[in-house]
Chain A
């Protein structure tokens, strides 16, 4: 606790009724860190404490050498002095101000000295044409886009997102997720992103903190943390890994792109990506089929990779297990029945062929 650490260090404890929170989270100084877990895990509670909005917790919070909270010395920096940008689940625009009034409110109070390029942000989030509108006349997706621009205009040193997409319908959600992906590529500010949706985490996060019932189950880089196959029981259907690679080929007739990653190549449905783009792809454990011999030519699965079994872990349902695989150094998870595990006589070291349906890779 004495060394000056870059990034954000958070230790929090709270006992309230039968809910106990006890976490120790480390957020790197760059990239997006996802706080991931089922509702009731304490994600939002942690986020509010980091923001200084909830001051009833014991603990220690330090950001880039500044101590924001220290219960032992009763130090508590108020929220408005922490230079955070907070995006709430509901857009929470000020109803007494217009869209541009909301943005001005933030920009006038910006605490940094870097000039924020307002015009670029407006364009990036597609809100230029909304400026004169009353906030009540905006759709949910438009409100949330304005709220994100508002948070960015305050020139924060730390961005906090509290399930910003969960209140939106599917199309607005997809649109905003694209905006956030673009933001992620450009943004230098460390960001904490609370979510219970694995697809958001897979597309946005660099680091992952998995939480359940007020505790941290695991944390680390996105890939390595997901590859451990440890998710809260309630979320075991979301088990899977994320691989990252480069688009090396596209098939415009079948609308597919081929992704080359360290472990091999995969075909997946084309969204907007072109040859040369970096791309992330989530492979759900349920979408992987294992066989101990090369699959026959009659399989509809487009993707087959060779893998070595690393180990087996219990799944939520007693009929199933999660097989941890190694594909030329890249981790893969497969959810299979225990019966298959026995009948295929799988064991650590077994050589298998993993088939992945391309249709399951749409992210």
Chain B
């Protein structure tokens, strides 16, 4: 891309790699979680729902700070990963992935949960009466009917991870090729008074975010025709 230094380019690639990894992992984990939240009748549903949406309102620095403690050498998870021979996660790419997943969780789970809830009970009753078991119903009814929710989840999860800063600042540090993502790079440029470079990167991010959201709105069906 024009106007990018080698370091800027590295930060760009790293950011995309991070966002893609986080989005894929969140889809894998978020889909069953959203399914459970949409369908479960247990009392646990509400506290779990609140916990999932917590990153929406929490300052990213708070999340990052607790993660730093938890994942660090003295933290519970940190001790576990050390025992397992994985070392500690803060200031590594893997640590950044874990933190970003928590940070972007609501942006993936909420659209999925809404999409699952919007299907209603009837199509599942129909499928069951036609002989479809629970897993069959999930793949043959829930997934195809919820695809607009998946589209939203992918776009929001990816774009939100690209745009994070506070969590990275706390847990990622600023290690080139490891944890130096675009938003950190922009911060560096501004700190160093390199407004031109900051401008270039900021514009790229702005354009990317807009394009992603536009694509999402264009691809969403206006209304799924369901005569019920």
Asked if B225 lies at the interface with its beta carbon under 8 angstroms from chain A, I say yes
Known contacts A86-B125, A95-B145; A154/B225 CB under 8 A: no
Which residues of A in the span 105-134 have a Cβ within 8 Å of any Cβ on B?
105-106, 109-111, 134
Is B227 a contact of A80 with CB atoms below 8 Å? no
Known contacts A95-B145, A95-B225, A136-B226; A105/B140 CB under 8 A: yes
Is A52 a contact of B128 with CB atoms below 8 Å? yes
Q: Could you tell me the distance in whole angstroms from the C-beta of A284 to the nearest C-beta in chain B?
A: 34
Known contacts A79-B125, A92-B123, A136-B227; A105/B145 CB under 8 A: no
**Chain A 33-70 per-residue mask, 1 if CB under 8 angstroms from chain B, else 0:** 00000000000000000011100000000000000000
Give the CA-CA distance A241 to B228 in the complex, in Å. Answer: 35
Q: Could you tell me the distance in whole angstroms from the C-beta of A166 to the nearest C-beta in chain B?
A: 14
**How many interface residues does B have (CB within 8 Å)?**
22
Asked if A96 lies at the interface with its beta carbon under 8 angstroms from chain B, I say yes
Q: Which chain B residues lie closer than 8 Å to A109 at the CB level?
A: 130-132, 136
Give the CA-CA distance A52 to B125 in the complex, in Å. Answer: 9
Which residues of B in the span 121-173 have a Cβ within 8 Å of any Cβ on A?
122-123, 125-133, 136-137, 140-141, 144-145
CB contact between B128 and one of A80, A93, A138 (< 8 Å): that residue: A80
**How many interface residues does A have (CB within 8 Å)?**
33
Q: Which chain B residues lie closer than 8 Å to A105 at the CB level?
A: 127, 130, 140
User: Hey, which bits of chain B sit against chain A, CB under 8 A?
Assistant: 122-123, 125-133, 136-137, 140-141, 144-145, 224-228
Give the CA-CA distance A92 to B227 in the complex, in Å. Answer: 7
Q: Which chain A residues lie closer than 8 Å to B145 at the CB level?
A: 94-96
**Chain A 71-114 per-residue mask, 1 if CB under 8 angstroms from chain B, else 0:** 00000001110011110101111111000000001100111000
Known contacts A92-B122, A94-B123; A79/B227 CB under 8 A: no
Q: How many A-B residue pairs have CB under 8 A?
A: 80
Asked if A143 lies at the interface with its beta carbon under 8 angstroms from chain B, I say yes
Asked if A145 lies at the interface with its beta carbon under 8 angstroms from chain B, I say no
User: Hey, which bits of chain A sit against chain B, CB under 8 A?
Assistant: 51-53, 78-80, 83-86, 88, 90-96, 105-106, 109-111, 134-136, 138, 140, 143, 150-151, 154, 160
Q: Which chain A residues lie closer than 8 Å to B228 at the CB level?
A: 90, 92
Q: Which chain B residues lie closer than 8 Å to A96 at the CB level?
A: 144-145, 224
Tell me the nearest residue of chain A to B128, going by C-beta.
A79
Tell me the nearest residue of chain A to B120, going by C-beta.
A92
Is B132 a contact of A86 with CB atoms below 8 Å? no
CB contact between A110 and one of B131, B141, B225, B226 (< 8 Å): that residue: B131
Tell me the nearest residue of chain A to B140, going by C-beta.
A105
Is A86 a contact of B126 with CB atoms below 8 Å? yes
Is A78 a contact of B126 with CB atoms below 8 Å? no
Give the CA-CA distance A51 to B129 in the complex, in Å. Answer: 7
Q: Which chain B residues lie closer than 8 Å to A53 at the CB level?
A: 125, 128-129
